[in-house]
């Protein structure tokens, strides 16, 4: 598991640590996000049908950014604890956003007093080698937002930035 860091402009909140991992598979990838802290004090979207849904990043959500070698294009996955998901393709930094192709995404979330774990299995064509980012957005009960990532560029939180993609994946499991 990789430790994510809280963006320096974010105030401390009920979540004190976030870790995440991603593993390429023959069909796409598997990801796991683990949140530690006072889970009862964060907004966790209510379980819903597993379907493509926009604007998941406006509340508690996990994200994967996947940029294969050979060009500036990348794919973004949004994974909600509700079970909903989104997938977008970009030609370059925030350029020409459109729905990305997905065969299936399964998201499961379990919660306890001090821990929440989100696991996702993604069936989507994902080229390797690739640079990957793992990010999380946490909204607390008061509406405050925290941004977590492997790394951040200078300035405001920007998950689309190349600086966030610090994981290098070479081959499938």
On whether the CB atoms of residues 136 and 150 are closer than 8 A, the answer is no
The whole-model pTM stands at: 0.95
pLDDT at 118 over 90: yes
Architecture of the 2-169 domain: Sandwich (2.60)
Tell me what pLDDT residue 70 has.
Answer: 87
Distance of CA 105 to the CA centre of its chain: 13
- What's the pLDDT at 42? 95
pLDDT of 39: 95
Q: What is the percentage of the chain residues whose pLDDT exceeds 70?
A: 99
Would you say residue 148 has pLDDT above 80? yes
Q: What is the pLDDT of residue 173?
A: 62
Quote the CA–CA distance of 4 and 153 in Å, as a whole number.
Answer: 14
Cβ atoms < 10 Å from Cβ of 36: 14
Sequence spans of domains, the chain? 2-169
| Whole-number pLDDT of residue 71 | 87
Please give the structure tokens belonging to residue 36: 């530690």
pLDDT digits (tens, 9 = 90+) for 80-117: 999 999 999 999 989 888 999 999 999 999 998 899 99
Say whether pLDDT at 123 is over 70. yes
Q: Which of 138, 85, 84, 86 is nearest to 116 (CA)?
A: 138
Q: What number is the average pLDDT over the span 1-20?
A: 96
> Which run of H or E residues covers position 66?
strand 61-68
pLDDT at 112: 85
User: Average pLDDT of the chain?
Assistant: 94
Q: Dump pLDDT digits (tens) for 39-56.
A: 999 999 999 989 999 999
């Amino acid at each position: 598991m990789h430790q994510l860091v809280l963006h320096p402009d974010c105030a401390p909140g009920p979540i004190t640590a976030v870790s995440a991992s991603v593993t390429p598979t023959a069909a796409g990838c598997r990801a796991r996000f683990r949140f530690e802290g006072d889970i009862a004090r964060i907004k966790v979207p209510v379980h819903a049908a597993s379907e493509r849904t926009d604007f998941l990043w406006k509340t508690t959500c996990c994200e994967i950014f996947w940029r294969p070698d050979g060009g500036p294009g990348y794919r973004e996955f949004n994974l909600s604890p509700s079970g909903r998901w989104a997938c977008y393709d970009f030609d370059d930094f925030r350029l020409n956003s459109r729905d990305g192709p997905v065969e299936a995404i399964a998201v499961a979330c379990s919660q306890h007093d001090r821990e929440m774990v989100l696991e996702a299995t993604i069936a989507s064509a994902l080229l390797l080698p690739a640079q990957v980012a793992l990010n999380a957005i946490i909204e607390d009960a008061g509406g405050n937002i925290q941004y977590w990532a492997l790394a951040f560029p200078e300035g405001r939180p920007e998950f689309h930035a190349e600086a966030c993609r610090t994981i290098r994946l070479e081959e499938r499991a």
